[in-house]
Amino acid sequence: MRTPVRLTLATAAIGATALLGPTAHAHAPTSVNCSREFCVWTDANFKGDKEGFDTETSGRDLSAKGLDMNISSVVNRSKEIWCLFDGKDFKGEGRIIPPGAEVDYLGTMGFNDKARSLKACNF
Ligand SMILES: [Ca+2]
């Protein structure tokens, strides 16, 4: 009886992988809606890999998402102020991204590929 059970489990795993399809990214796909939340891209002009954040998924460790020192554009469609930091754990030099801001190239703020952590920050 054990062998048929194992075969069933293996089939289920393969099915789940196939469902992700060729466009799946290496990191887990975001569940954040970029029309309402804070989103970042690895390239300028909102291109490249995308990741969304809400106040519960603030990126203390951006390296886990492959974003460490790689973010080049951001959009803040949340109602909160977001802050980018060039150090881990919200330390170092920072940049403020107010609600409604669309920054197509962080280099204009002197911050291209510099962010190592980010969060919604209230002053
Ligand atoms: Ca980049």
16 alpha carbon – ligand 1 mean position (Å):
31
For 112, counting Cβ atoms within 10 Å of its Cβ (0-12 exposed, 13-18 middle, 19+ buried), the class is: middle
15-19, 44-48, 60-64, 89-93: segment of lowest average pLDDT: 15-19
116 alpha carbon – ligand 1 mean position (Å):
12
56 alpha carbon – ligand 1 mean position (Å):
24
**pTM given for the model:** 0.72
102 alpha carbon – ligand 1 mean position (Å):
16
Look at residues 53, 49, 57, 55 and name the one whose alpha carbon lies nearest to residue 113: 49
Considering the domain boundaries, does residue 45 fall inside one? Answer: yes
pLDDT one-digit tens code per residue, 77-105: 999 999 999 999 999 999 999 999 999 99
CATH number at residue 47: 2.60.20.10
pLDDT at residue 17, rounded to an integer: 41
Considering the domain boundaries, does residue 2 fall inside one? Answer: no
Considering the domain boundaries, does residue 6 fall inside one? Answer: no
56-60, 77-81, 85-89, 118-122: segment of lowest average pLDDT: 56-60
Considering the domain boundaries, does residue 19 fall inside one? Answer: no
Q: Helices (DSSP H) in the chain: which residue ranges?
A: 2-20
Domain that holds residue 62: 26-120
Considering the domain boundaries, does residue 9 fall inside one? Answer: no
50 alpha carbon – ligand 1 mean position (Å):
11
Residue 16's identity, in one-letter code, is: A
How far apart are alpha carbons 32 and 38 in whole angstroms? 8
Domain count across the chain? 1
